């Protein structure tokens, strides 16, 4: 095997593939990237058996063949390599990587053990703008649970219906939902993509741009964007029926500038205790939103913001980090906070945009 | 303390779909196939791809194999299909093809089942070694026969029980094997375990201690090893003489000893020799062991042996004629363990004969082998060499006509031992030791015998020499 390719394109492809590599796998070959030079094309493949990626890179192929090299070594070497082109050849069991300035001989892994990526038939699919799809995932993915006990809570829910795609995630203490427009009117069942895999899909969509068509079946989901083929496992579980817990009526409603609240939450977090405990008060008479945090080891802070408030006065404790998280996904100028008294969840949404909402449970003393 | 409410308290229903009907036969079939596949496929490949696989169903010669993901399905069907089919066919003639289905399978169910069923007790609780303390509950004071041979050790043990950590600390019991040292020290431990359960008692052999230390070194957990041992209120260690050969363990043992001793925690040890003669033991350790109480157990005298045999027979609910027990106690000399073995021989015979009483003649025939095995032939030269070496005198001076004091004593000891232990006649002894008169020999034996009554150093020396001659 022997080929020559542009350093920048090869490096970015290797960088993407490296994110899919499993370093601690039972199967050593999964720590590597498979490079296939065949039919005038160079394809890079990497997988951790949860999700996988295949990237085509334009290359001048002298001899066809395939090789697996450890991803960490290859990307580490290329990151410091300078020069326009890189040429790669296989000599016996050693892969020679040469740039203008440096050349490396990398020990290879047996390519016979490298698995194929699952293909999903084109029967069922939905299409959206890559940017929209990436935004949907970005708006909710941070809410997914980190604990592995419930795989459905570790996932991002994607479900298309009536020309819209709904993305949602929850760790059962807070929940986020984002709706983005679809191309066409495809309808899908609930697709649960592990949050880690969804984050990788998001990064690929961000760089690819354009439109993305997502193919799916009960077990697998995949897409072809630009030169990249991406595939992920779909979790066989049911997402909790969260629609029923969204409150319909509210005792208190407040409107506050998003930027003001974000800055206030950032500053209040300095004084928050290890539980990020922040007390939120809404006063409809004074028209103020007051945030208080207290840490016996540091001190305390009170922060008052002007707000438009209707309904009853309201005071409750929250995890300040949960509140701050919600603001990164909202984009409008102001934020609407809706509450229902002690022990009930509060709803945070973009005042001018109904496509996003965030639900957070209060803290209990 | 704060906690955040959960939205879905008790409402989250996990809806895994199980299409499986796990039959034991298909389960066994797949397990057997896996055993075969494991041999042909490399370990990483096997662990990666065959994990969580199972047979969902078998229909008309087609085996439907449940696999966890599409990754696994695609790879198994392209790469390992032939191997799987071959191994299944070799186990069952009816298998014609294999299909792969993605299914989570019965894994989750079995995990939950396993969790709800408590592990069955693997041993009967009564006889088992006590888990926490490592003590064998069989060893108690009530089952210990006390006689002149161990009464000092027994008294010391009683003193330790009355005033642990103060009376005699450390207590070291030494003596040859099979004389009930372990029984005695475990009895102390068991006494504390029953009367003061909150006291942390630990029994162990020095070998276990050393192994523990080595594995803690390997795992880089020396600190937790130290902490584990320093929490005990009563540490009983068997056969400490083995520690003398292990440099690092010995050092660790020294620090542990100091820590526990400073905290007035009771330490109890056994060894096969007096610490002063254990090779390789450092002076600092020797002096510390000497600071406590050192008692010896000696081979039981005839009366004690008889008492032991009687007690053991009663414990087995067997009544033996006195003459048989007497014969047993007389012929089987040496340690209690051998005595017990000989008695067991009689007990089995007793049972075989449907509890018919054994006569003295029966016992004699049965014990012929056991009795003769206890004697060992040692040449006179060897005895002389050993004993002169022990006392540090020239071997040839024993045979000479000298009456120097440092030679006379060893010579008398040699004569005594040759007579007592090896039953050599007085004239022969005299002849072999430089042509002396048999009356000289008789006098020497009487002298040593008399001295033994008052001289504890001499009796210690004799037991050392007897050990060396074994």
Stretch A122-136: mean pLDDT: 92
Among A30, A218, A238, beta carbon nearest to B14: A238
Question: B69, A219: Cβ pair inside 8 Å?
Answer: yes
pLDDT reported for residue B24: 53
Give the Cβ contact number of residue B369 at 10 Å.
10
- CA atoms of B56 and B66, how far apart (whole Å): 6
Nearest to B20 by CA among B61, B71, B54, B69: B54
pLDDT reported for residue B115: 33
For residues B137, B139, B143, B144, the Cα torsion angle rounded to the nearest 10 degrees is -160
Tens-level pLDDT at each residue, chain B (470 residues): 444 555 554 443 333 333 344 445 788 888 888 988 888 888 888 888 888 888 888 888 888 998 888 888 888 888 889 889 888 888 888 888 888 888 865 544 333 333 333 333 233 333 345 667 788 887 888 888 888 888 888 888 888 888 888 888 889 998 888 888 888 888 888 888 888 878 888 888 888 888 888 888 888 888 888 888 888 888 999 888 888 888 888 888 888 888 888 888 899 999 888 888 887 888 888 888 888 888 888 888 888 888 888 888 887 777 778 888 888 887 777 678 888 888 888 888 777 777 777 777 777 777 776 554 445 566 788 888 888 888 888 888 888 888 888 888 889 988 998 888 888 888 888 888 888 888 989 999 999 988 888 888 888 888 888 878 76
Among A150, A170, A275, beta carbon nearest to B2: A275
For residues B311, B315, B317, B323, the Cα torsion angle rounded to the nearest 10 degrees is -20
Question: A362, B5: Cβ pair inside 8 Å?
Answer: yes
Query: Which of A48, A197, A217, A238 has the highest number of chain B CBs within 10 A, making it the mutation to test binding with B?
Result: A238
Q: What is the ipTM of this complex?
A: 0.77
Question: B74, A219: Cβ pair inside 8 Å?
Answer: no
Nearest to A360 by CA among A321, A332, A315: A321
pLDDT reported for residue B12: 39
Give the DSSP H or E segment for B234.
strand B234-238
Tokens 């945090």 sit on residue: A293
On the question of pLDDT at A150 being above 90, the answer is: no
Nearest to A136 by CA among A107, A168, A161: A168
Residues of A in contact with B79 (CB under 8 A): 115
Residues of B in contact with A317 (CB under 8 A): 2
pLDDT tier, A67 (very low <50, low <70, confident <90, very high otherwise): very high
Phi, psi of B245, deg, nearest 5? -90, -10
Question: A152, B14: Cβ pair inside 8 Å?
Answer: yes
pLDDT reported for residue B19: 39
Question: B71, A47: Cβ pair inside 8 Å?
Answer: yes
For residues A139, A143, A144, A150, the Cα torsion angle rounded to the nearest 10 degrees is -140
- CA atoms of A180 and A156, how far apart (whole Å): 15
The contacts of residue B409 (CB under 8 Å, 6+ apart) are: B391
pLDDT reported for residue B206: 87
Q: Tell me whether A190 touches chain B (CB under 8 Å).
A: no
Query: What is the length of chain B?
Result: 470
The nearest CA of chain A is from the CA of B280 a distance in Å of 48
pLDDT reported for residue B15: 38
What is the side-by-side strand order in the sheet with A314-319?
A299-306, A288-295, A277-283, A314-319
Closest residue of chain A to B2, computed from CA coordinates? A365
Stretch A327-355: mean pLDDT: 88
Q: Tell me whether A143 touches chain B (CB under 8 Å).
A: no
The answer to whether A347 and A361 have CB atoms below 8 angstroms apart is no
The nearest CA of chain A is from the CA of B48 a distance in Å of 6
Q: Tell me whether A341 touches chain B (CB under 8 Å).
A: no
Nearest to A197 by CA among A205, A189, A188, A185: A205
Nearest to B334 by CA among B368, B296, B305, B364: B305
Residues of B in contact with A49 (CB under 8 A): 48, 69, 71-72
The contacts of residue A197 (CB under 8 Å, 6+ apart) are: A50, A51, A232, A233
Stretch A277-285: mean pLDDT: 92
Residues of B in contact with A47 (CB under 8 A): 71
The answer to whether A265 and A348 have CB atoms below 8 angstroms apart is no
Q: Tell me whether B377 touches chain A (CB under 8 Å).
A: no
Ordered DSSP codes for B364-381: HHHHHHHHHHT-----HH
The answer to whether B265 and B233 have CB atoms below 8 angstroms apart is yes
Size of interface A-B (CB pairs under 8 A): 99
Q: And the tokens for B180? A: 């009930």
């Amino acid at each position: 095997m022997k080929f020559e390719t542009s350093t920048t394109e090869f490096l970015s492809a290797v960088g993407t593939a490296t994110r899919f590599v499993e370093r601690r796998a039972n199967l050593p070959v999964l720590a590597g990237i498979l490079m296939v030079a065949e039919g005038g094309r160079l394809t890079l493949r990497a997988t951790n058996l949860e999700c996988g990626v295949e990237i085509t890179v334009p290359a001048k192929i002298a001899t066809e063949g395939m090789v697996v090299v450890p991803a960490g070594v290859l990307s580490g070497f290329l990151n410091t390599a300078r020069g326009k082109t890189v040429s790669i050849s296989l000599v016996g069991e050693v892969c020679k990587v040469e740039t203008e300035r440096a050349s490396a001989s990398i020990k290879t892994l047996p390519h016979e053990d490298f698995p194929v990526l699952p293909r999903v038939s084109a029967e069922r699919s939905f299409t959206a703008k890559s940017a929209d799809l990436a935004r949907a995932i970005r708006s909710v993915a941070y809410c997914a649970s980190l604990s592995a006990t419930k795989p459905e809570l570790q996932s991002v829910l994607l479900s298309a219906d009536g020309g819209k795609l709904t993305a949602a995630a929850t760790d059962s203490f807070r929940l986020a939902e984002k709706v983005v427009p679809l191309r066409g009117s495809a309808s899908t069942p609930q697709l649960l993509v592990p949050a880690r895999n969804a984050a990788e899909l998001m990064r690929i969509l961000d760089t690819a741009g354009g439109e993305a068509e997502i193919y799916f079946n009960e077990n697998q989901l995949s897409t072809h964007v630009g030169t990249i083929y991406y595939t992920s496992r779909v979790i066989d579980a049911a997402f909790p029926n969260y629609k029923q817990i969204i409150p319909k009526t509210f005792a208190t409603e407040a409107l506050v500038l998003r930027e003001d609240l974000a800055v206030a939450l950032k500053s209040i977090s300095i004084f928050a205790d290890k539980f990020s405990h922040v007390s939120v008060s809404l006063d409809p008479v004074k028209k103020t939103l007051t945030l208080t945090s207290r840490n016996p080891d540091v001190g305390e802070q009170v922060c008052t913001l002007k707000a438009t408030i209707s309904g009853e006065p309201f005071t409750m404790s929250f995890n300040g980090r949960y509140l701050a998280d919600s603001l990164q996904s909202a984009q409008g100028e102001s934020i609407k906070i809706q509450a229902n008294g002690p022990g009930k969840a509060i709803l945070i949404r973009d005042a001018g945009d109904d496509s996003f909402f965030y639900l957070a449970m209060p803290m209990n003393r | 303390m704060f906690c955040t409410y959960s939205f879905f308290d008790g409402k989250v229903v996990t809806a895994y779909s199980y299409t499986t009907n796990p039959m034991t036969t298909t389960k066994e079939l797949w397990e057997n196939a896996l055993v075969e596949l494991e041999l042909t496929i490399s370990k990483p490949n096997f662990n990666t791809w065959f994990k969580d696989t199972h047979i969902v169903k078998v229909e008309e010669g087609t085996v439907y194999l449940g696999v966890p993901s599409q990754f696994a399905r695609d790879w198994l069907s392209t790469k390992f299909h032939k191997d799987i089919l071959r191994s299944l066919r070799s186990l069952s003639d009816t298998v014609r093809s294999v299909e792969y289905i993605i299914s989570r399978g019965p894994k989750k169910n079995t995990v939950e089942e396993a969790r709800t069923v408590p592990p069955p007790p693997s041993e009967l609780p009564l006889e088992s070694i006590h888990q926490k303390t490592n003590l064998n509950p069989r060893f108690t004071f009530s089952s210990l026969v006390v006689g002149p041979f161990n009464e000092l050790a027994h008294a010391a043990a009683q003193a330790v029980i009355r005033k642990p950590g103060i009376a005699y600390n450390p207590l070291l019991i030494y003596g040859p094997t099979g004389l009930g040292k372990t029984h005695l020290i475990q009895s102390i431990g068991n006494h504390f375990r029953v009367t003061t359960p909150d006291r942390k008692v630990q029994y162990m052999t020095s070998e276990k201690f050393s192994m523990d230390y080595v594995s803690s070194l390997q795992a880089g957990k020396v600190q937790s090893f130290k902490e584990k041992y320093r929490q005990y209120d009563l540490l009983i260690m068997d056969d400490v003489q083995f520690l003398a050969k292990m440099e690092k363990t010995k050092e660790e043992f020294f620090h542990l000893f100091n820590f526990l001793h400073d905290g007035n925690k009771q330490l109890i040890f056994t060894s096969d020799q007096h610490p002063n003669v254990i090779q390789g033991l450092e002076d600092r350790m020797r002096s510390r062991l000497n600071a406590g109480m050192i008692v010896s157990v000696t081979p039981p005298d005839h009366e004690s042996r008889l008492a032991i045999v009687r007690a053991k027979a009663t414990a087995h609910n067997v009544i033996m004629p006195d003459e048989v027990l007497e014969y047993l106690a007389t012929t089987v000399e040496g340690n209690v363990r051998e005595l017990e073995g000989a008695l067991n021989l009689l007990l089995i015979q007793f049972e075989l004969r449907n509890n018919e009483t054994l006569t003295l003649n029966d016992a004699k025939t049965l014990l012929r082998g056991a009795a003769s095995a206890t004697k060992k032939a040692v040449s006179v030269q060897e005895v002389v060499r050993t004993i002169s070496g022990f006392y540090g005198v020239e071997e040839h001076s024993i045979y000479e006509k000298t009456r120097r004091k440092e030679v006379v004593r060893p010579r008398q000891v040699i004569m005594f031992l040759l007579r007592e232990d090896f039953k050599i006649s007085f004239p022969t002894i005299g002849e072999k030791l430089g042509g002396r008169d048999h009356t000289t020999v008789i006098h020497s034996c009487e002298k040593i015998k008399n001295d033994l009554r008052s001289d504890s150093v001499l009796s210690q020396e004799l037991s050392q020499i007897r050990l060396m001659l074994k």
